[in-house]
Structure 1
Amino acid sequence: MEKIGVFIIVIIGLTFGSCQSEKSTSNSESKYFTDSIYSNHLREYRKHNIYMPKGFSKDKKYPIIFATDGNNITENNFYKRTLDSLIDNKAITPLLLIESFSNPKIADSSYTDENRDKFYLDYRYFEYVENEYHRNPELSARFKNHLNYFHDELIPTVEDELNQNPSKNDRYFFGVSNGAGFGMSLFNKKPNTIGTYLCFSIFGGRIQSKIWYENVEYPSLYLEYGSEEPLFLKEDADYLRSKFKELGLHVFINEYTGGHDYSIWNQKFIEIIVELFGNKKHSKH
């Protein structure tokens, strides 16, 4: 994979535009706003952020990244600043980014740690980590319902609103930590929808317990994890490397120097999207 080093640092520094929390009426600049849809699977409204590149037109088709862990938009947001700079400098082709929010409310307070101190689990945990045996039926079903929301409601609704009808190969997924664990479950259970997954520091993905089938066209995978993270991340990566080789699948696995760190994940995100969406390479995609 190409190393872009100082080039990326320079072009990211070129753009420090403010972000938007409302939809802009101008087409001369990128748009970054929060929207929501009602989920029948989750029986609640769910928010998501949408990034649209400068000059976006519903008459054009764009690659789309669907991501977990959307957050409230802040000034100088990393994703808007980064995508604006890379696109403006023609380092990548224009694309759409959809960031799905999780539910941050506390869902369960019945757990205790080794010191018998109570700790709290929010809905995000149950949405991202498959746990079919929880004593609360609603929480037990939360993972499945959230996966169905993401796959059956969020993706088609946003694509329809933006007049996009991408092929599998023009859909991408990005997630970190438990969000990456959810991504690997989506990867395994719904292999025909998204063509490429970027999953960093996978927590809660139950990697080695998943069933993999021959003659299934699984997506491509870019997996990153840190040298200072728990050993099971390396064990899971080694397992996936072996399993994907056995199945003849494309996988890129890298161990970076460091830990569970957003600053590293951000840099890896830049490196990989330049690899994937660099104008010359994407034209051959």
Structure 2
Amino acid sequence: MKFAFILISLWVTTSTYCISPIMPNYQNCKNKKEKKSQLFTDTLYSESFGENRLLTIYLPKGFKKTKTYPVIYMADGQLLIQSYVKSIDSLMDKKLIPEIVIIGVNSNETFIPSMGLEYRNFEYLKNLHGGKDTLNLRFDKHFKFFTSEVIQYAEKSYSVSNKKEDRTFYGISNGADFGVTVAQDKPDLIGHFILCSIVQGSKEPFAWTKANCPSFFLATGDQEDEMVQDEAKRLGKYLTQISMPYELVFYHGGHERKKWEAQFIAYLPKVYRKKS
């Protein structure tokens, strides 16, 4: 039986930056002319799922529809909360990173009692328990939703760049596993991956070349399960073999959200320094 971490988290629907009701979008915020950044939820109907899905959106101070922004696509977008915003705003104020937009794709944390897992796990992990039953088909639906529907919507609605080098993926735990699969299956889609505590990654052999390989910024805890630590090492070993520079940090701690948040914030200046 394949291993899957279960993250129980709160759905974030409001922020002190731009407080919105349960069905907000940028239209609720754009007339405020605030000098503050904006954090709010948006709803996108998914053709793949045939249902509405929530997005958590971060827009920088002075956001303008006439400007094109680098973008971060974040798995488990409901974890994008005010503490992230405060740190990101500070990095921008200090000119350590450019103005960016973050598109947080909220995960479905509904618990499936018969499986002891969440829908989230099936949406992030390919063939979690084998076969092509209804649950495992959720991976294909989510993959299309994330890599096609969300990106098209973000480019249309939030003025984000359509260039690979301007796109970054951020994922934690099984969300990081999903990131490995995105990088594997669509190597020309996203240029940079910040992955924290990869649990099992992609079980398919890595197949990047130095020419198409994204850049990777990896972090995992020195107190994590050995399997989690080994996944980061396995990916790092392959990147070394193809002479692709990468960063791997073993922070002191375990499978912890605050540690992941700290690593994400620490990596951001490095991501954009590489691009400059």
**Superposition TM-score, scaled by structure 1 size:** 0.81
Q: Out of 51, 58, 71, which is 1:64 matched to? A: 71
Equivalent in the alignment of 1:166:
162
Identity of aligned residues (%): 32
| Residues 164, 238 of structure 1: alpha-carbon distance in 2 compared, 3 angstrom cutoff | closer
Please state how far the C-alpha of 1:270 moved relative to its aligned partner: 1.4
1:85 matched to 2:85? The reply is no
1:41-94 CA deviation, whole Å, 9 max, x = no partner? Answer: 1111111011111111122121101101122876xx112222222222333211
1:13-61 CA deviation, whole Å, 9 max, x = no partner? Answer: xxxx923232322232211111011111111111101111111112212
The whole-number CA distance in structure 1 between the counterparts of 2:126 and 2:205 is 11
> Unpaired runs of 5+ in structure 2?
1-14, 21-27
Equivalent in the alignment of 2:17:
19
The whole-number CA distance in structure 2 between the counterparts of 1:217 and 1:158 is 24
Equivalent in the alignment of 2:202:
206
> Unpaired runs of 5+ in structure 1?
1-16, 112-119
**Superposition TM-score, scaled by structure 2 size:** 0.84
- How many equivalent residue pairs? 253
1:249 matched to 2:244? The reply is yes
| Residues 148, 51 of structure 1: alpha-carbon distance in 2 compared, 3 angstrom cutoff | same
Please state how far the C-alpha of 1:247 moved relative to its aligned partner: 2.1
Equivalent in the alignment of 2:120:
124
Please state how far the C-alpha of 1:212 moved relative to its aligned partner: 1.3
Please state how far the C-alpha of 1:122 moved relative to its aligned partner: 1.4
Q: Which amino acid aligns with 2:106?
A: F
Please state how far the C-alpha of 1:98 moved relative to its aligned partner: 0.8
1:109 matched to 2:104? The reply is no
Q: Could you tell me whether the CA contact under 8 Å between 1:132 and 1:141 is conserved in 2? A: no
Q: What is the CA RMSD across the aligned residues, in angstroms?
A: 2.2
Structure (1 or 2) with the larger CA radius of gyration: 1
The whole-number CA distance in structure 2 between the counterparts of 1:258 and 1:73 is 21
Q: Could you tell me whether the CA contact under 8 Å between 1:197 and 1:222 is conserved in 2? A: yes
| Residues 84, 155 of structure 1: alpha-carbon distance in 2 compared, 3 angstrom cutoff | same
The whole-number CA distance in structure 2 between the counterparts of 1:42 and 1:161 is 20
- SS of the equivalent of 2:113 reads strand
Q: Which amino acid aligns with 1:87?
A: M
Equivalent in the alignment of 2:260:
265
